[in-house]
Structure formats: structure tokens, C-alpha cells
Amino acid sequence: MITYFVSLALLAVIYGIAAIGLNILVGSAGIFSLAHAVFFGVGAYAAALMAIHVTPDILVCCGAAIGVTAVLSLCLAFPALRVRGEYFVVASLGLQMVAATVFNEAQGVTGGYGGLAGIPAPTIFGTFSLGTPTRLLLTSLGILLLGLGVVLAFMRHSFGRALGAIRDSEIAARAIGKNVELLKTTAVVLGCTYAGVAGALFAFDIAFINPESFTLDQSGLILTMVVLGGAGTLLGPLVGAVILTLLPALLTFLPMVPPTEIGTLQQFIYGLTMVLLMIFRPAGLVGRRSARR
């Protein structure tokens, strides 16, 4: 029973890290990405391949995830520099759809539809295993806190101000000397690497990954987490992650829902949540009541 809750908590932390990353993009920089699951997947694959073929050391694998994700996130940064708002959403959608196909087709790297199995348990400092759910949970919590710290350090100071300026008026931001290209690219790379690290932890958690975990559904899920908790707030994404990770678990306890319909019901609730939130409380659970967005 304890293991069950620990696994649940671990999943919440993993998605929490991803959600914090998306919040940097959506909440702070106003870069509306529906491709976050792509980088979640890239990080997962990178870490998995490193663990299987080289070493399951968690620092090395997370490093690999960060490195690969950071480079590939430039694919998202590029359109972010060219267009914004509506256009960018569609571009990110496009990236998500193409990536889904790539994950499925790149047999040699990702294992195609079948995915990658047999991901070894993570270790640290050579031989100390982090393979138990509890140890992985504690490690992930540590990474989460580190991630929060970085966000705090950046967003409460000049970086956050600069991103806010860009969101409100790119032209005026340039007029006071802000290098908008550099700032946006930094935000995209930063936000996506969070997803990459989360993906790495995910790969270790489940020990098996396949393209089904990195589709538009997951991008939508992470977006719902950010929106539900409150985009632009510090803890909002975490609140959203916790609630939406617990939701499917809670649904399994409902007696009248047949197991096959749980997925559908889940999706229904996500969708309805988003619609109702936007009508009645667009700032999310943690956000200010009368947020001007």
C-alpha cells in the first residue's frame, strides 16, 4: 500500500517538474507550447539509452537528458522567435505531431512502437542504487526543489522582469536594450530541459518507455496542470500536477465506472476542467482572483 502511494507521489513529482518547465514557457514568457511532451520524451529516451548502453548513473543520465533536450529545444525556439500567440501554438502542435511520428518510426534509436524496455535502475556515485521507489522519490524531490530554486532565482529577478516586458511589448522591450531573441531562446531551452529531466526520471520510474507516453494527450495534460494550478505562479504547476496525478487514481475507486472507461472519463474531466476554469477562474487555483491575462 505504501509502495502504491510512493509511486503515485513519484509520478506527481515527475509531472510537477515538467509542469514547472511548461510554466516558464507559458506563464512567464507567454510562449504557448503544446509540444512539451516531445521534450519529456526526448529526455526519457536520452536517459534510457544512456542507462542501457553506458551507465545508469543518475547524474550522467540526467545530464544526457538535459543536453539532448537543450539542443533539440532550439527546434521550438526557432518558431518562437518568428511568430507568437496563435501562430506559435499551431507550430508547436505541428512539432508535437511530427515528433510523435518520429518516435514511432525511428526504430534504431527509440525502438519504434515497441519502445525501450529493460531500463536499469539508476545509481549514484558508482554503486549506490536509487532503484527503490522511495529512493527515487527522494531523489526526484531533491531535483524538484533544485528546479524550484532555479525558477525563483531567475523569475523573481531580472529574467522574470525581462520576460514580462517582452510579453507586454516586444518593441518597447527592445527599446530598453533587451535582446528578445536571446531571452526567448533562453526561456524555451530552460523550460524544455525541465521536461527532459522529468522524462529521465520517468524512464527510471517505469523502466520501460514507448511513444504512447509522449503524445498530444500528455502535452495537453501538462498544460492542464499549469492552467489548473495557475500559469505564472510559482506553486501553481505543482498544485495542478498533484491534483491531476491523483485524479486517475481516485477514479479507479469509483464503483460505477468500468475500468475501460476510466481513460475516457479522465479526458472528459480534463477538458471540462479547462473550459470551466477559463470561464470562471482563468488565473487558476493559486493565481490572483482578478488576474489580467
What residues between 139 and 158 interact with other proteins by CB under 8 A? 154, 157-158
Task: Give the total residue count for the chain.
Answer: 293
In angstroms, give the least distance from the CB of 277 to other proteins.
8
Provide, rounded to whole angstroms, the least separation between the CB of residue 84 and other proteins: 6
**CA distance linking residue 152 with residue 163, whole number of Å:** 14
Nearest to other proteins of 190, 201 (CB atom): 190
**Amino acid identity for residue 201 in this structure:** L
Q: In this chain, which stretch among 13-21, 53-61, 176-184, 244-252 interacts with other proteins, using CB under 8 A?
A: 176-184
Q: What's the CA gap between 292 and 15, in Å, rounded?
A: 27
Contact 236, 230 (CB under 8 A): yes
Angstrom distances, CA of residue 13 to CA of 103, 183, 219: 24, 27, 16
Cβ proximity to other proteins: between 102 and 121 the closer is 102
State which residue, 46 or 184, has the beta carbon closest to other proteins: 184
For residues 179-198, which are near other proteins according to CB under 8 A? 179-180, 182-183, 186, 190
Between 159 and 202, name the residue whose CB sits nearer to other proteins: 159
| Shortest separation between residue 41's beta carbon and other proteins, angstroms | 15
- Within 26-45, the residues that bind other proteins by CB under 8 A are 26, 30, 32
Determine whether 176 is exposed, middle or buried from the number of CB atoms within 10 Å of its CB (0-12, 13-18, 19+). Answer: exposed
- Alpha carbon dihedral 225, 76, 78, 158, in 10-degree steps, equals 40
In the bound complex, what is the minimum distance in angstroms from residue 213's beta carbon to other proteins?
A: 17
Chain centroid to CA 14: how far? 8
Q: Which of residues 209-238 bind other proteins (CB under 8 A)?
A: 216, 220, 223-224, 227, 231
- State the number of binding residues for other proteins (CB under 8 A): 73
Residue type, 83: V
Give the span between the Cα atoms of 27 and 287, in whole angstroms: 11
Under 8 Å between Cβ of 31 and 25: yes
> Least distance in Å: CB of 199 to other proteins?
21
- The beta strands (E) that lie in 22-121 are given as none
SS3 106: coil
- The least CB distance from residue 132 to other proteins, in Å, is 36
Q: Which residues of 40-73 are buried (b: 16+ CB within 10 A; e: fewer)?
A: bbbbbbbbbbbbbeebbbbebbbbbbbebbbebb
Does 55 contact other proteins by CB under 8 A? no
Binding to other proteins, residues 92-121 (CB under 8 A): 93-95, 97-98, 101-102, 104-105
User: Among residues 52 and 180, whose Cβ is nearest to other proteins?
Assistant: 180
Binding string, 239-278, against other proteins, x = CB under 8 A? Answer: ----------------------x--xx-xx-xxxxxx-xx
Query: Applying CB under 8 A, which of residues 164, 235, 243, 249 lies at the interface with other proteins?
Result: 164
